[in-house]
Amino acid sequence: MNPLKHLFDRNRAWAARIRQGTPHFFQDLSKQQTPEYLWIGCADSRVPANEIVGLLPGGVFVHRNVANLVIHSDLNCLSCIQYAVEVLQVKHIMVVGHYGCGGVTAALENRKLGLIDNWLRHVQDVMQKHSRLLEANPQDRQLARLCELNVVEQAFNVAQTTVVRGAWDRGQELTVHGWIYDLSDGLLRDLDVGASDLAECMAANARVAAMPS
Ligand code: CO
């Protein structure tokens, strides 16, 4: 008896539903993928990339980790960006955070959770960099603000990778975006730090640094 039989049942029903609409969907998709988007999001179970933007399999290339971090020495994330940009030629990379992020909360409250504290140290770096901005917010608004600032910083990190800078140097059409998702209403918000070249990236960076709160 397979204790996870219900998941296989759901899988068969899901595949049948898609085949009903498009009989050759899976056969066609098995031959190639041509997604236009790379989604870098949080591993949180409540933030599933495809579903949120209503895309079927094949629509979005996805990298997820706790607190949607883009670290310059993380070969996993960097490889994903490189493959998406240079091989799949995606046109957009979106870093997507979410309000109420457990990773960001743990970082803000300096909770001790074990190994993951080392990973979340990167969020604490964001916190320290923007301490003045954060402290200008009331206590109950600081978590939401840090979730937003973390997205902004990670989007900048994407833009600073050798892969993205190389693509821009070659004139490849590629835009980096920073978005945030609201668990309480299912809606995405654009944080308006989108950049299609290094100058736009720097301008967005300067705008955020100059924000009053
Ligand atoms: Co999260």
201 catalytic? Reply is no
Q: How far is the CA of 102 from the centre of ligand 1 (A)?
A: 5
Determine the distance separating the centroid of ligand 1 and the alpha carbon of 165, expressed in angstroms. 27
Supply the pLDDT for residue 26. Answer: 97
pLDDT confidence bin for 212, thresholds 50/70/90: low
Annotated catalytic residue: which of 92, 98, 145, 177? Answer: 98
Question: What confidence score (pLDDT) does residue 1 get?
Answer: 79
Query: Which is higher by pLDDT, 213 or 210?
Result: 210
108 Cα to the center of ligand 1, angstroms: 13
The pLDDT assigned to 210 comes to: 77
**pLDDT score, position 19:** 97
Residues 148 and 137 sit within 8 Å (Cβ to Cβ): no
What are the phi and psi torsion angles at 93 (to 5°)? -120, 125
- How close is the Cα of 63 to the center of ligand 1, in Å? 13
72 is catalytic: no
- Is position 46 annotated as part of the catalytic site? yes
Q: How far apart are CA 72 and CA 163, in angstroms?
A: 11
Residue 211 has what pLDDT? 75
Concerning whether 44 is annotated as a catalytic residue, the answer is: yes
Share the mean pLDDT of the chain: 96
The mean pLDDT of 69-75, rounded to a whole number, is 98
Output the CA 196–ligand 1 centroid distance in Å.
26
The CATH 3.40.1050.10 domain(s) of the chain lie at 33-209
Long-range Cβ pairs for the range 88-91 (8 Å, 24+)? 88/33, 88/34, 88/35, 88/38, 88/61, 89/172, 90/35, 90/36, 90/37, 90/38, 90/61, 90/174, 91/36, 91/37, 91/173, 91/174, 91/175
The CATH architecture of the domain made up of 33-209 is: 3-Layer(aba) Sandwich (3.40)
- What is the predicted pLDDT for the residue at 209? 76
Find the catalytic residue in 101, 122, 130, 177: 101
What's the pTM value of the predicted model, to 2 decimals?
0.96
Distance CA 45, CA 181 (A): 13
Is pLDDT above 60 for 175? Answer: yes
Q: Has residue 213 got a pLDDT over 60?
A: no
Q: Which pLDDT belongs to residue 178?
A: 97
Q: Are 149 and 104 in contact (CB under 8 A)?
A: no
Indicate if the pLDDT at residue 92 is higher than 90. yes
Residue 101 annotated in active site: yes
Mean pLDDT of 47-71: 98
- Centre of ligand 1 to C-alpha 135, Å, is 22
Q: What is the pLDDT of residues 5-18, one digit of tens each?
A: 999 999 999 999 99
